[in-house]
Amino acid sequence: MSNVPAIDIHNLTASYERKPVLWEIDCQFPQGKLIGIVGPNGSGKTTLLKNIMGLMKPDSGYVKIFGDKLNKVRHRVSYVPQRESVDWDFPADVMDVVLMGRYNPKKLFSRITQEDRDIAIEALKRVNMLEFSKRHISQLSGGQQQRVFIARSLAQQADLYLMDEPFVGVDAASEDAILSLLTEMKNNGKTVVIVHHDLQTAYEYFDYIALLNTRLVACGPTEEVFTSELLQEAYGGRLTVLSRIGELIAKKDFPVREKGQKDN
Amino acid sequence: MDSLWTYFNHPNFWWVLAGTTFLSAISALVGTFTYLQRKSLMGDAIAHGILPGVAGGFLLAGEKNALIIMIGAIVWGLLTVSSIDWISRKTHLQNSTAMAVVLSAFFGLGMMLLTVVQTSGLPDASGINSFLFGQAASMLPEDLLVYSVFAIVVAFVLAAIYPHLSIISFDRAAAQSIGFNVRRIDAVLSILVVAATAIGIQSIGLILMAALLITPAAIARMWSSRLIGMLLFSGAIAAFAAGIGAVISFTAPAMPTGPWIVLVLFIFTLISMVISPQRGLLKQFRQQKKNQNIILRENFIKRLYHQWEKSGQTTFILNELKDKPSKRTLRFALQNDWIHQVGITIHLSEKGLREGRRITRAHRLWELYLSRTLRMRDDHVHPSAEVMEHLIGDDLEKELLRTLGYPQTDPHQRDIPYEP
Amino acid sequence: MNTWVLINAVVIALSCSLAGAFLVLRHRAMLTDAISHAVLPGLVIAFLISGSRNTTAMLIGAFVFGFICIFLVEFFRRYVRITDDASIGITFTSLFAIGIILVSRYTDRIDLDQECVLHGEITYSALKRIVLPGTNWAVPQTFISAMAMLIIVSILITIGYRGLKITSFNPDYATSIGVSVTLWHYISGGIASMVTIVSFEAVGAILVIALMVIPAATAWLISKRLPAMLLNTTLLSVSGSIFGYGVAIWLNVSIAGSIAFLLGIQLMMVVLVKVAARRLPLQRATK
């Protein structure tokens, strides 16, 4: 494993309706760690994940994954969206969803092979959901649905996993199962990045934490980040200067970078 | 033009003109609230779903009787609303899917009844078509009276629940939390939409009725951000469009009224899109241009200031400047006494120095802010400061100075220049 | 009773309902409403330029306006920030209004009137016939174009099955693995526009919506997996058009209207059965 950071975020600013919700985020996530993106509600955690995955276009800055552009290393990255982001009434059973992990743009028109099926079965076994493989996805509990999403992600056989709030609405048993699976993945050399809102459990779960509140408060090994000073800063509300200049940017429709200005 | 006057002298003309403008304005008022609550397509579903009521009312009355048709329309309108509600409550289908299902199925039933009307041999059978695309000229004063009574009732109900509606339109969750019965207000609004649709169908027709509920509201939103302003605007626009429709309906009887009203509204939409003060493209374009000019001229004076800072130089040869300013930038700087020009040289004035110093100060304060508060690496703070220096005004500067404790140097150890 | 009319109705219903299935799954059912209205001016202008019911010209015209519709909706939404559903509402009513004005203005020059725009002319769809080359079978022109459309739609859905499925179920995930959601959005919209154009003449602007949305929505309620849902969609569209046609002949009313209404009845029955089943305690115990 090389020393290239799994994710390198450089001066990233992102907005909704022209108003910045993430300010100049600049940090690196190392490989082979269990990493938490932690912060209060509305601090831009999901927005950060979406920018990393190219689901949103940032106003400034860029993201490199394994030192490369996302498009070049997409097959090594797996993304688990928020559970609420899909309609669980979609006509599909558990196996259908997990098999989606075997899709890729080049194989979109070829058939699913027996190998794909074996990989999907293996993934379901690892999340203890094999017995439910024929069950319709709407007839699962929240924790089971989350495990199906994680199984789909495992079926992608990636090196970097990005998960958006995988512990929300999940029962205690599922939470334990998911956590031990994540630790096992880390021990196999995978990098796992998790958006997480619960400060209590964050300390136990993660080796490395990015503390966020519209700006990056801290980014580093958990012991270094979990100081009362930094936590208070992250949970102590917004910065007036940032919110005021954010309003000005939105009102005047001002750019965040001058024309031709590159972030180096 | 002579012929136009004969229409104006038509006994029904003024009746119809007054009636359609009034009815359309009332419909548009109701539409404003559905627009604000993002339920615009509900109006489309109701307008289409109402057809069996119209055709059924016609069959029951055996003639084009405004009152009975109106009642039929309202009954079916309510049935449409409750069917949509029922399907989306009892199944996992989304509200919009339920709308498409109900509107098309009911419209199908309406079509069946319509063929019954047409083969019924009833005297006025062809008159039913005026409900589809609207035929303002075919309205009799008695019809107008019936519609107007309903419209007045709608207006009264609207006025009565106005405070509730305005609160719900702005913040639904907050309204719910302070104990508003949101569901009941929703139900009343649905009934109002049904009534608004029913009173509009003869002048605009039920196929295009949705436009009268949606478009004036969307136009009004482009001109006003206040509810009362939106209501006045949407009412006025709807009335005007309906008036034009009524005139066309008299001058060209073969033409249905509805499409013309919708076309007028569409033209208004396009015009507003360009010139409206709230969100017009022209305004957006001007704002961009203005931002660009501010950036250009402030960068120009900032560069001169930097040179002064390095060498104490205040006189420059225009052609030797590294980034030559555009004519517009130069003119602005001259007009504001930032610089004076003597032939090919320019001279930085006291005022120009002050301006350059202000921008440089903003730039360095922002860099320091990013470095200290956001803990950014010192070699990463420059690009952002290049823009924020143009945005930081007096207030924000004071705030920054206070937060940073009137610092002396920026992260790159350059002095933060204060006014001497 | 005319067998060809019934066959035409069934074939049209099949391609509409299959094309509509993915819009329903995407929660974009009301988009069918927009498309079916917006293509009218395209059809009329194509008619005026080509001077006849030239299918190619009409396809081009309708496509152009289909795209104008999608462009305007996007434009209103993004640049003037009109809400999503209002943008749809403004665009399609305006385009439809322009279409109706053209139809009324040039009634004498084109073979379309306000009635036909709403009802379609399925009753006459068996009249104009073409003799198949090499045989002496005279087949209605509508049947040939509808059949061609059904084959095209089936092929597109078979090839694009996985792309349509994954972008419908979980767009963010699809983007994350490099599948373009926008592209597939346009593909599903494009398929829907195509069937709308061919069906427009037969069943009219508004009943196309019934064919596209109702069978798919009904099938969704009774199917566990996507292949089953597509199969049920086709079955329901066939049964709906057969019953609808029967009722129309029996009562001597609009065929297209009757099919739409019967499709609605089918959905209503499924919902009622489901509601009743949920009330039965026995059912709940076994679940």
Q: Given an 8 Å threshold on Cβ–Cβ distance, is C213 in contact with B97? A: yes
Q: What is the mean pLDDT of the segment spanning B115-144?
A: 81
Which residue did the predictor score with more confidence, B145 or A152? A152
Residues 6+ apart with CB under 8 A from C249: C1, C255
pLDDT(A229) > 70: yes
pLDDT(A1) > 60: no
pLDDT (0 to 100) of residue B183: 84
Task: Count CA within 13 A, CB hemisphere, residue B250.
Answer: 22
Residue to test with chain B: of C32, C93, C251, most B Cβ within 10 A: C93
Q: Beta A34-38 vs A208-213: how paired, if at all?
A: parallel
pLDDT(B53) > 70: yes
Does C276 map to a domain? no
Number of domains in chain B: 2
pLDDT(A106) > 70: yes
Nearest CA in chain A to B365: A241
Predicted confidence band of residue C61 (pLDDT cuts 50, 70, 90):
confident
Domain CATH for B372: 1.10.10.10
Q: Token pair of A150, please?
A: 């994680």
Convert the pLDDT of each residue in B38-47 to its tens digit: 888 898 999 9
Does C225 map to a domain? no
Closest chain A C-alpha to B184 CA, distance in angstroms:
28
Q: Average pLDDT over chain B, rounded to whole?
A: 89
Chains that touch B (3 or more CB pairs under 8 A): A, C
Q: How far apart are CA A39 and CA A55, in angstroms?
A: 21
Q: What is the mean pLDDT of the segment spanning C226-232?
A: 96
Q: Given an 8 Å threshold on Cβ–Cβ distance, is A258 in contact with B380? A: no
Predicted confidence band of residue B182 (pLDDT cuts 50, 70, 90):
confident
Q: What is the mean pLDDT of the segment spanning A108-127?
A: 91
Which residue did the predictor score with more confidence, B317 or A160? A160
Does C271 map to a domain? no
Which residue did the predictor score with more confidence, B176 or B260? B260
Residue B223 and residue B272 in contact, taking contact as beta carbons nearer than 8 Å: yes
Q: What percent of chain B has pLDDT over 90?
A: 51
Number of domains in chain C: 1
Q: Token pair of B326, please?
A: 């555009």
pLDDT (0 to 100) of residue B238: 95
Rg (CA), chain C: 20
Residue B93 and residue B36 in contact, taking contact as beta carbons nearer than 8 Å: no
Does C247 map to a domain? no
Q: Average pLDDT over chain C, rounded to whole?
A: 87
pLDDT (0 to 100) of residue B367: 94
Chain B residues whose C-beta is within 8 A of a chain A C-beta are 92, 284, 287-288, 291, 295, 369-370, 373-377, 380-381, 383-384, 386-388, 390-392, 395-396, 399-400, 403
Q: What is the mean pLDDT of the segment spanning C29-42?
A: 87
Q: Where are the alpha helices (DSSP H) in chain C?
A: 3-25, 29-38, 40-50, 55-79, 84-105, 114-119, 141-159, 161-169, 171-176, 181-222, 226-251, 255-279, 281-286
Does C119 map to a domain? yes
φ, ψ dihedrals at C99, nearest 5°: -60, -45
Q: What is the mean pLDDT of the segment spanning C133-156?
A: 88
Domain CATH for C110: 1.10.3470.10
Residue entry with tokens 């390198």: A8
Q: Given an 8 Å threshold on Cβ–Cβ distance, is B103 in contact with C33? A: yes
Residue A57 and residue A221 in contact, taking contact as beta carbons nearer than 8 Å: no
pLDDT (0 to 100) of residue C239: 97
Boundary (domain end) residue, out of B277, B299, B319 = B277
φ, ψ dihedrals at A212, nearest 5°: -125, 140
Residue B256 and residue B201 in contact, taking contact as beta carbons nearer than 8 Å: no
Q: What is the mean pLDDT of the segment spanning A105-131?
A: 90
Q: How far apart are CA B105 and CA B45, in angstroms?
A: 11
CB-closest option in C28, C79, C118 to B281:
C79
- B324 and B225 share a domain? no
CB neighbour burial string for C95-121, b if at least 16 within 10 angstroms, e if fewer: bbbbbbbbbbeeeeebebebebbbbbb
Q: Beta A60-65 vs A7-16: how paired, if at all?
A: antiparallel
Q: How far apart are CA B27 and CA B25, in angstroms?
A: 5
ipTM field: 0.92
Q: Token pair of B362, please?
A: 């903003």
Q: What is the mean pLDDT of the segment spanning C219-236?
A: 96
Chains that touch A (3 or more CB pairs under 8 A): B, C
Q: How far apart are CA C23 and CA B299, in angstroms?
A: 51
pLDDT (0 to 100) of residue B3: 61
pLDDT (0 to 100) of residue C78: 83
Q: How far apart are CA B418 and CA C17, in angstroms?
A: 72
Q: Given an 8 Å threshold on Cβ–Cβ distance, is A256 in contact with B376? A: no
Q: Which of B104, B101, B53 is nearest to B79 (CA)?
A: B53
Q: Which of C253, C244, C184, C193 is nearest to C215 (CA)?
A: C244
Q: How far apart are CA B47 and CA B31, in angstroms?
A: 12
Convert the pLDDT of each residue in B279-288 to its tens digit: 789 988 999 9
Does C278 map to a domain? no
Closest chain B C-alpha to C98 CA, distance in angstroms:
7
pLDDT(C282) > 60: no
Min mean pLDDT across B3-12, B271-280, B377-386 is at B3-12
Q: Is C42 exposed, middle or buried (0-12, 13-18, 19+ CB in 10 A)?
A: buried
Could you tell me the maximum CA-CA distance found in chain B, to the nearest angstrom? 99
- B226 and B198 share a domain? yes
Structural domain of residue C148, as residue ranges?
Answer: 3-211
> How far out from the chain centre does Cα A82 lie?
9
A55: contact with C, CB 8 A cutoff: yes
Tell me the chain C residues in contact with residue B114 when contact means C-beta distances shorter than 8 Å.
254, 257
Residue to test with chain B: of C90, C113, C119, C272, most B Cβ within 10 A: C90
Domain CATH for B57: 1.10.3470.10
Closest chain C C-alpha to B181 CA, distance in angstroms:
25
Q: What is the mean pLDDT of the segment spanning B234-241?
A: 95
- B148 and B271 share a domain? yes
Concatenating the DSSP letter of every residue in C137-168 gives -EEEHHHHHHHHHHHHHHHHHHHTHHHHHHHH
pLDDT (0 to 100) of residue A215: 92
CB-closest option in C104, C217, C264 to B254:
C104
Tell me the chain C residues in contact with residue B115 when contact means C-beta distances shorter than 8 Å.
252-254, 257
C27: contact with B, CB 8 A cutoff: yes
Min mean pLDDT across A65-69, B316-320, B367-371, C25-29 is at B316-320
Boundary (domain end) residue, out of B277, B309, B326 = B277
Convert the pLDDT of each residue in B156-170 to its tens digit: 999 998 888 888 887
- B229 and B374 share a domain? no
Q: Identify the structural domains of chain A with CATH numbers, from first to last.
A: 7-252 (3.40.50.300)
Structural domain of residue B160, as residue ranges?
Answer: 2-277
- B297 and B399 share a domain? yes
Q: What is the mean pLDDT of the segment spanning C180-184?
A: 90
Task: Count CA within 13 A, CB hemisphere, residue C28.
Answer: 21
> How far out from the chain centre does Cα A186 lie?
15
Q: Given an 8 Å threshold on Cβ–Cβ distance, is C224 in contact with A108? A: no
* Cβ pairs bridging B and C (under 8 Å): 217
pLDDT(C99) > 80: yes
Convert the pLDDT of each residue in C236-245 to its tens digit: 999 999 999 9
pLDDT(C34) > 90: no
Q: What is the mean pLDDT of the segment spanning A6-31?
A: 92
Q: Given an 8 Å threshold on Cβ–Cβ distance, is C252 in contact with B113? A: no
pLDDT (0 to 100) of residue B5: 65
Q: What percent of chain C has pLDDT over 70?
A: 96
Closest chain B C-alpha to C73 CA, distance in angstroms:
13
A87: contact with C, CB 8 A cutoff: yes
Which residue did the predictor score with more confidence, C163 or C118? C163
CB-closest option in A91, A93, A103 to C166:
A103
- B286 and B205 share a domain? no
pLDDT(C287) > 60: no
- B222 and B300 share a domain? no
Helix (H) or strand (E) holding A215: strand A215-221
pLDDT(C286) > 70: no
CB neighbour burial string for B88-119, b if at least 16 within 10 angstroms, e if fewer: beebebbbbbbbbbbbbbbbbbbbbbbbbbbe
Min mean pLDDT across B342-346, B382-386, C244-248 is at B342-346
pLDDT (0 to 100) of residue A58: 93
Residue A235 and residue A214 in contact, taking contact as beta carbons nearer than 8 Å: no
CB-closest option in B101, B111, B222 to C254:
B111
Q: What is the mean pLDDT of the segment spanning A199-216?
A: 92
Does C279 map to a domain? no
- B192 and B82 share a domain? yes
Tell me the chain A residues in contact with residue B399 when contact means C-beta distances shorter than 8 Å.
240-241, 244
In SS3 terms, C178-226 reads as CCCHHHHHHHHHHHHHHHHHHHHHHHHHHHHHHHHHHHHHHHHHHCCCH
Residue A224 and residue A235 in contact, taking contact as beta carbons nearer than 8 Å: no
Residue to test with chain A: of C162, C182, C229, C278, most A Cβ within 10 A: C162
pLDDT(C175) > 90: yes
Q: What percent of chain B has pLDDT over 70?
A: 98
Boundary (domain end) residue, out of B277, B297, B328 = B277
Q: What is the mean pLDDT of the segment spanning B311-319?
A: 86
- B259 and B332 share a domain? no
E strand segments, B233-328: 315-317
